[in-house]
Chain A
């Protein structure tokens, strides 16, 4: 008899506790789209699942275009795109809600005198049209291009903003932000890119078109090497209670800490 007392207490406790937590949120939340948003949406989904144990969150990294199509056809609750919607996509009755901004800092070695570059400079440098720092106001030394591996969200973001997709002549393709920063900090002639949140003191971010990268300049759009992370929903189609709760949660200020930790600039 003795052993069943804790069990009894537990049962009573559960009976008391259950009505207080009336109808816990349950169901599936499916997201589909941009693979660059993996880190942001993944950590948001994880945090939401931890709060609502009965909710199952899924994310399908198919690409922005595919995610928008999936949202339109109702194959997912929320579509994810790492670009603004095009006019014809808006015409299908899709709504875009900006979740966060992906600000990409262009970094150089602290000894590099170059303080500012234009977007055109950047594209010329990365496509190999400009090969020496003196052509953009620096010292006479060969520019060493540091980038990320194929498939990286940061590389995808950088190449799509600078319009250099598949055309970059990298000297090194590194597999993590940390490696990029370390390498740039070691080589006075190097230039690299990294998500804004992870830039450290050992490297110096360059201003683009005269605007220094910061959370503020990314948010107001004056810093150009950035793109929005967009949630795509269909106008007039109601989300399931779980998906709506998730949507409200990730667009609330409460989620901004998680978004920052995942390397993006929260929009709300």
Chain B
């Protein structure tokens, strides 16, 4: 009995340690970002940094305004959500409630595969197919633009929206739907008036996850967005918060490098905000 208890304690301790590794990493990264990101903000000035509209980090008189990046990230993410959420949501409802089992199984694995494709591949396909496509369809001089980034991001967030929404819809108790059918509701009425409201916290969570993936993506958007620090405009070349850090980091030095860390810090706050809202949605869903 006693040895068994010791063994239990040991296992508990071991698991605690593993759990602390993850927490430790988060704390370490947070501390590192804050310490390396704050000096540049202090030197540039918070208002000039966040609301300055010119980024010229290597000019003889460098300017470090990241408003174009912030707005681009917000617009890009909003656009991806506006396109990706309806597609993902209806796909999830269809797959979870209406699709024949074999079709559903096939499509589910296809969606999982979509989630597993590395972002550089999305970027490459975007660069070779989407960018020239936008150029000829919209008759603009160059296709690398905010629109291209939005389209790539919309596809990239589909898997998380579909899978999480599907899980939430499948978890709706059968009795709810049976009761609705028994009252004479059609299947579409049942799914959209009963199942979807019952699963709404999970669906909201899927959207927030999608936002998180879209705002954090660097590689794919870097390859299709053109990467010039312009104010966001649908057919203009733009730079996201993530690609601003990634594209200049390798050669940066001095204040430029510190400012890149500051951008990362801003991005980190955005992600924190998203996580906080995710928790809020989930909690509210549970209480309702």
Contacts and interface: CB of A to CB of B under 8 A. Distances in A.
Contacts of A171: 141-142, 144, 226, 228, 237
A11 B57 CA distance: 57
A53 to B, nearest CB: 29
Nearest to A143: B141
A183 B247 contact: no
Q: Which interface residue of B141, B239, B248 has the most chain A CB atoms within 10 A?
A: B141
Contacts of B222: 175
A175 B227 contact: yes
B127 A182 contact: yes
A172 B248 contact: no
Contacts of B246: 175
Given A142-B141, A151-B256, A179-B127, A187 B248 contact: no
Interface string A142-173: 11100001111100000000000110001111
Q: How large is the interface on A (under 10, 10 to 19, 20 to 34, 35 or more residues)?
A: 20 to 34
Contacts of A172: 142, 144, 226-228, 237
A172 B250 CA distance: 18
Contacts of A190: 142
B60 interface: yes
A41 interface: no
Q: Which interface residue of B228, B251, B252 has the most chain A CB atoms within 10 A?
A: B251
Interface of A: 35, 61, 141-144, 149-153, 165-166, 170-175, 179, 182-183, 186-187, 189-190
The 6 closest A-B pairs by CB, nearest first: A151-B251, A142-B141, A172-B226, A150-B58, A166-B59, A173-B227
10 contacts: A35-B253, A142-B141, A150-B256, A151-B57, A151-B252, A166-B59, A171-B237, A172-B144, A172-B226, A189-B141
Given A141-B141, A149-B247, A174-B227, 18 more contacts: A35-B251, A143-B141, A149-B227, A150-B57, A150-B248, A151-B251, A153-B251, A166-B56, A170-B228, A172-B144, A173-B239, A175-B250, A186-B127, A186-B131, A186-B132, A187-B132, A187-B143, A190-B142
